[in-house]
Structure 1
Amino acid sequence: MLKEFKEFAMKGNLVDIAVAFVMGAAFNKVVSSFTGGIVSPLIGLIFKSDFKDQKWIITEGTLNDAGETVGEVAVLWGDFLTNVIDFVIVAFVMFMVIKGVNKMKKKEEPAPAAPAGPSDNELLAEIRDLLKK
């Protein structure tokens, strides 16, 4: 059983998937820092505040003794929109990577055509000649 697991784990596809997963996680951090550090502040200029902190407050909270807001109910739409932008960037880059890989793959040659058999006219002529006999 251990030998079968080792064979399974060392197959090329599984190792490729593991490497891609690790690279994808690292790339996601890069995109998140790009969005949080560059895109959000630029969009935040429009709202005159940090874009990621934008929210729609449904119910106001109260301040506790520590100065923290307690009991606030809010829709965190700025954070959500930042994550959507992250997703779009990652999806676009993955699309471009897959497109590049597909372009680099060796194009498969079409299968050779089946040998041509006799035409319909030739078959009818053979049948006619056999019937004459």
Structure 2
Amino acid sequence: MKNKPTLAKPKWIDEFKAFALKGNVVDLAVAVVIGGAFGKIVTSLVNDIIMPCVGYLTGGINLTQEKLALGGTGVSLSYGNFLQSIIDFLIIALSIFFAIKALSRFRAQEQEKPADAPPPATPEDTVLLREIRDLLKKD
């Protein structure tokens, strides 16, 4: 029976595995996924809650429908969608700012906590009594 030839595993596979499983890369991947989901939540907040309130306060104006027609060509600039995107961005930026601010405050509080105090020194009389006890045990 002939031995089947084996292929050596390329060195880069182990290097890639070490890179991909590092804490920073995994943390970044989780942050991207959570950020994408958070963006959807904020977009829904803007579209479904904030913009209807803005529309109510401005007499029913829907920013996403606002356009600027360029002559009679049928071409228009949808500046309303652009304004909507700016509002989305500002809300996301503010949310991230407040989240990071809260996280920084939490970390600062954790660092300010005093380290565990060392145990108090044993009183001198206790040390002497222990020495006497140890001497008596030897005899």
Alignment TM class, shorter chain as reference: 0.5 to 0.7
- Which residue of structure 1 aligns with residue 71 of structure 2? 59
1:107 to 2:118 alignment: no
The structure-2 alpha-carbon separation of the partners of 1:97 and 1:48, relative to structure 1 and needing over 3 Å to count, comes to: closer
- Which residue of structure 1 aligns with residue 62 of structure 2? 50
The counterpart of 1:92, out of the listed 74, 91, 94, is: 94
Asked if the contact 1:55/1:77 (under 8 Å) is kept, the reply is yes
The structure-2 alpha-carbon separation of the partners of 1:101 and 1:38, relative to structure 1 and needing over 3 Å to count, comes to: same
SS at match of 1:107: helix
Q: Which amino acid aligns with 2:46?
A: T
Give the unaligned 5+ runs of structure 2. 1-11, 113-139
Q: Distance in 2 between matches of 1:39 and 1:77?
A: 18
- Which residue of structure 2 aligns with residue 33 of structure 1? 44
1:73-92 per-position Cα deviation (integer Å, ceiling 9, x unaligned) = 21211111111111011111
- Higher mean displacement: 31-40 or 79-88: 31-40
Q: How many residues align?
A: 99
Q: Distance in 1 between matches of 2:50 and 2:72?
A: 29
The counterpart of 1:17, out of the listed 25, 28, 37, is: 28
Give the unaligned 5+ runs of structure 1. 62-71, 109-133
SS at match of 1:92: helix
Q: Distance in 2 between matches of 1:38 and 1:31?
A: 10
The root-mean-square deviation of aligned C-alpha atoms, in Å, is: 2.0
Q: Distance in 2 between matches of 1:78 and 1:39?
A: 15
| Percent of aligned pairs with the same amino acid | 38
1:38-77 per-position Cα deviation (integer Å, ceiling 9, x unaligned) = 222222232534321111112235xxxxxxxxxx221211
Q: Which amino acid aligns with 2:27?
A: D
Asked if the contact 1:58/1:75 (under 8 Å) is kept, the reply is yes
SS at match of 2:26: helix
Q: Distance in 1 between matches of 2:59 and 2:77?
A: 16
Q: Which amino acid aligns with 1:100?
A: A
